[in-house]
Structure formats: C-alpha cells, structure tokens
C-alpha cells in the first residue's frame, strides 16, 4: 500500500462513521481511530523483520536518486502538524502559491485543517517554489514535506 492508497483508506474510514478500523498485512499494520468523526489518528508499524520480498524494490531507490539531486539545493517547507492540506483559502479562490511563484519568509503558502481549525502555514524561507509535494485536500503528517523552495 503506497501513501496515496493509505490516504484514501483513511478518508474512507473517516467518512464511514466507524470509530476504529484495523488493516494488517505481512509488511504493515494500520489502525485508524476516529473520535466523533472529527479527529483521525492512525498508527502504522512495520514488523521487526521484513520479508525477503520487501528487499526487492532497491532499483526504485536507485531511480529516485537523480530526483533528489535535482532538488538538493532546495529547502523543504514541512507540515508542523497532522491535518488536511489545502492549497486554497476556499474552494472558489486561487491557490496561495503555485510552482514557479516567489515566496517570502512569513508569507502564507497553504492551510492545514486540524480538528476543524484552519491553520495558515507560513514559509520560513524566501525563494522560488520549485515543487509542491503534498496533494491538495489530502491528509498530511507532522514533518511531512509540503513544498520545496529554491532559496533566493
């Protein structure tokens, strides 16, 4: 299960009204708990010893190396909390920032909703946004990279 599938699973459980759902495979265990349909908490854990088939994706890591080099000089704007990532202040308004836009330190770049509170996330760096890593209207984790900024 990749991150996109996990995010869709969490959305499904949240909308279903279930108070707790667990999903377990050979490689991971995910438990989603909701409190009154407002908050979502989930825990993912890997087994102590990964099966031999889990070692196979090594070529994919080698493929990802050039991408990391492309953004090696960039600074990440990371999520300061768990919540839902929004690129726009409201559905009928334009995005705060897009790829190629200039951002200044202290300028709002997105909103993260946590427990019905909308928190404006500000850039800590001045520069040009070169990549938006998070997907609009999807859950994000604490410390997850949201934007990559090339410092000015």
Q: What is the CATH number of the domain that holds 83?
A: 2.40.50.100
Asked if 78 and 146 sit in the same domain, the reply is yes
Residue 63 forms part of a structural domain = no
The answer to whether residues 82 and 139 touch, using CB atoms and an 8 Å cutoff, is yes
DSSP strands (E only) in 6-96: 20-24, 29-35, 39-45, 75-78, 83-86
pLDDT of residue 10: 72
Split into its structural domains, the chain has a count of 2
pLDDT of residue 22: 73
Q: Which of 55, 93, 47 is nearest to 108 (CA)?
A: 93
Asked if 91 and 138 sit in the same domain, the reply is yes
Starting from the edge strand earliest in sequence, which strands make up the sheet with 20-24, in order?
Answer: 20-24, 29-35, 39-45
DSSP strands (E only) in 1-152: 20-24, 29-35, 39-45, 75-78, 83-86, 102-103, 108-114, 117-122, 127-132, 138-140, 145-151
pLDDT tens per residue across all 152 residues of the chain = 666 777 777 777 666 666 677 777 766 677 776 654 444 444 444 444 444 444 445 444 444 445 556 778 889 999 999 999 999 999 899 999 999 999 999 999 999 999 889 999 999 999 999 999 999 999 999 999 999 999 98
Asked if 28 and 90 sit in the same domain, the reply is no
pLDDT of residue 89: 92
Residue 116 forms part of a structural domain = yes
d(CA 17, CA 58): 39
The answer to whether residues 94 and 149 touch, using CB atoms and an 8 Å cutoff, is no
Asked if 40 and 105 sit in the same domain, the reply is no
**Other Cβ atoms closer than 10 A to 92:** 6
Asked if 8 and 43 sit in the same domain, the reply is yes
Asked if 43 and 79 sit in the same domain, the reply is no
State the residue range of the domain holding 8: 3-47
The answer to whether residues 122 and 79 touch, using CB atoms and an 8 Å cutoff, is no
d(CA 147, CA 152): 15
């Amino acid at each position: 299960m990749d991150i996109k599938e996990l995010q869709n699973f969490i959305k499904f459980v949240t909308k279903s009204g279930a108070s707790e759902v667990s999903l377990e495979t050979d490689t991971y265990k995910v438990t989603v708990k909701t409190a009154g349909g407002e908050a979502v908490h989930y825990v993912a854990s890997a087994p102590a010893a990964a099966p031999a088939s889990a070692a196979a994706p090594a070529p994919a890591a080698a493929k990802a190396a050039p991408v990391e080099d492309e953004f090696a000089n960039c600074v990440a704007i990371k999520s300061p909390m768990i919540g839902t990532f929004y690129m726009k202040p409201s559905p009928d308004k334009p995005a705060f920032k897009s790829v190629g836009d200039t951002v200044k330190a202290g300028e709002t770049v997105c909103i993260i909703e946590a427990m019905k509170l909308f928190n404006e996330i500000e850039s800590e760096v001045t520069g040009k946004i070169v990549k938006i890593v998070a997907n609009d209207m999807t859950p994000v984790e604490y410390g997850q990279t949201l934007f990559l900024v090339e410092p000015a």
